[in-house]
Structure 1
Amino acid sequence: MDVDAVIFELYGLRPADFTRARDAYVAQARREKDSAAAAAIGGLRRPTLAVWAVNLLARTRPDLAEALLRLGTELRRAHRELDGERMRALSHQQHQVIGALSAEAAQLAAGAGERLRETALREVGEIFHGLLVDDEAARRWAAGRLAKPPPVAVGFEGLEPAPGAMPPPVTRPPRPAPVSAPAPAPAPAAPARTAVGRETRGVRRAAAEKRRSRTVAAREDAAEASAALRRTEQRLAEAAAARDRAEGEAADLLEELSAVRQRVEAARRAVRETKQAYRRAEQAHSEARWTAEKAARRFEEPTRSED
């Protein structure tokens, strides 16, 4: 059995049809004594609706899949090279591309009979963002064989800059040449340092230090809030993914329950039919016995009359 072809076929099916088709292939592999194929196919998990939708996009629009792969390559290169200007431009492009791909995936899914609700749409966007960071998962997706969402990506964490990479130098506009001014009129001599001057400079230094402290504290608070927001978003994404997995497992269990109920109902019908056949057989037996006894009596009556 060609396991790769089977996997490609299974991840092109709607999630509702996945489990039944997978189990059928496992049964076929066991009949063919192909234990390796049975184990490989049996270990496949039912994809979430969002994973199926992004696979459908990659299969239907390979041009869009290739565009996302190129964008991911450029983003990772800009991050490694610490090219801030390039990263800002690509980040803007990233939001546009992910929005367009998400809308296209939702439209393709609706055309295939599946409507993506808000949770699934949010997961679709998270998957595309994760694919920009995870090149290996992006390649599986471009082949239409993504089995599960990539890890939730927060920026490009874990992607270290290239050795020796330095951010580009900040260019500043040249300062204008000083304009010559007439020499000031001589002023009356004043003491070089006075008590008032020293006090003024001390107040200014204290105010500047206070402003720096406030700026540092504000930056630390902003960084902490940003990190907390990322952690919250990650927990929400993980919770949404866990809920979708639970929904998928519940759908699998419901399918199995429906199959068991069908088998039970078939067994009950067989029992009823067996009982009906038994009653008919008993009735036929009784009728045959009565007919035999009647025939016997008719045969005995002429014999007694002759005696």
Structure 2
Amino acid sequence: MARKGVRPARPAAGHDVERTLDELYATPPSDFVSRREQLAAEAKRDGRADDARRIHGARRPTLAAWAANLLLRSQPQESGRFLELGRALREAYRTLDADGIKELSEQRRSIVSALSRQAAQLAREAGHGLSGAARQDVESTLRAVLADEDAAQRWAAGRLEGALTPPADFPSPDATTAAPAHRVARPAPAPPETRPRAKDELAERRRRRQQQLGRARRSAEAADHRLHELSAGRDDADASLRRARDRHDRAREHESAAQERLREARQELRRAEQEEREAEERLRTAAGAVERAERAARDAAQEVARLTEPIT
């Protein structure tokens, strides 16, 4: 039973604050603090003190962390496949031999590189280019997502505050010539009566390992194929953007030339109107002079006629 004077909790409030935090972590770092304070003030004004404290406690992400969050939110399907690939890789690394690890490591490096380029492109389109160090932090974060389940869960939440670091014991492409560090030592030879059973168990383990390797390879190939498609789409979008910018620049030049011609035409029109007014004034002056001359001529003719009349 709720105490008197205590407002009951609203189920929708938690959902509202989660959406608010998602929006906040999609905000570029340069605008993060001002947007955070605005959202916290709105929550406090609405009587949601707990939400306001949560919002106010949000920490501004680094540029690399924001780019990784942006990648997750902008490409949800590719991000989901990447997370699935990480799960398959972590499972496969527990049982694979050195050759299998090397193959998957090479695919992992290619996919991480492609995704980091895509994150940099998204950040640039949002008006915030990534430096070389920031791109390295994005790659480090993506490698951590593949290698560590906790890192994958943190990235999947879409609210990273800083770059993630992959665990040191996760095999790298340069360390695949040896067996995984956590491989169990080979047991001593079994007694003759237990060898058939051991062979069956070994065959079963190898079969499961090959299944895991197959799933990991399929996941990696699907992710790599999708990334190639996205890269091609990005290149097409870049080319379209360049063409649009060229057309925009030409149109701007045409507009400037048209405006200059219009300005000149208006000046010419003003000069013509001025000349027309002056000509009209001269015409009125000339007409007045003609009218006066005609009157003088009539008066002179009348005077001549009067003087030529006979005197009586």
Calculate the TM-score normalised by the size of structure 1.
Answer: 0.49
TM-score (norm 2): 0.48
